[in-house]
């Protein structure tokens, strides 16, 4: 279990940040959220590429582009909440998909 957490801590951090987006924070939190999710998306796409997971490369790459803080997308809060839920679910599923695949 500890090894699994060590290998996936970055996805867990992204999930926690995404879930935290449902509280009322200052704009700075959402900026940090963008950086965290974008970086985790890029790193997850890199790991998927290393493991020959072509579908996951596209999924994580899309998350990285959507949440990128350099050229941001400006959407309504309600739209971002839906995207936050979707990204959370994707990261969560990927945690267990990789775990099952390694068994």
| Number of domains composing the chain | 1
User: Which is nearest to 84 in space by CA: 6, 9, 23, 1?
Assistant: 23
For the record, the structure tokens of 56 come out as 């996951």
Full domain range(s) for residue 72: 2-97
pTM for the model: 0.88
List, for residues 62-80, the tens digit of each pLDDT value.
999 999 999 999 999 999 9
Task: Evaluate whether residue 54 is within a structural domain.
Answer: yes
Looking at the domain assignment, is residue 102 inside a domain?
Answer: no
- For residue 54, pLDDT over 60 is answered with yes
Is residue 103 in some structural domain?
no
- Confidence class for position 24, pLDDT limits 50, 70, 90: confident
């Amino acid at each position: 279990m500890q090894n699994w957490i060590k290998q996936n801590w970055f996805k867990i951090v992204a999930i926690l940040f995404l879930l935290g987006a449902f509280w009322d924070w200052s704009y700075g939190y959402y900026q940090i959220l963008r950086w965290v999710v974008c970086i985790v998306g890029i790193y997850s796409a890199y790991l998927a590429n290393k493991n020959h997971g072509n579908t996951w490369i596209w999924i994580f790459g899309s998350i990285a582009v959507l949440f990128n803080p350099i050229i941001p997308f400006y959407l309504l809060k309600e739209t971002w909440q839906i995207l936050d839920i979707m990204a959370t679910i994707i990261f969560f599923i990927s945690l267990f998909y990789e775990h099952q695949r390694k068994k």
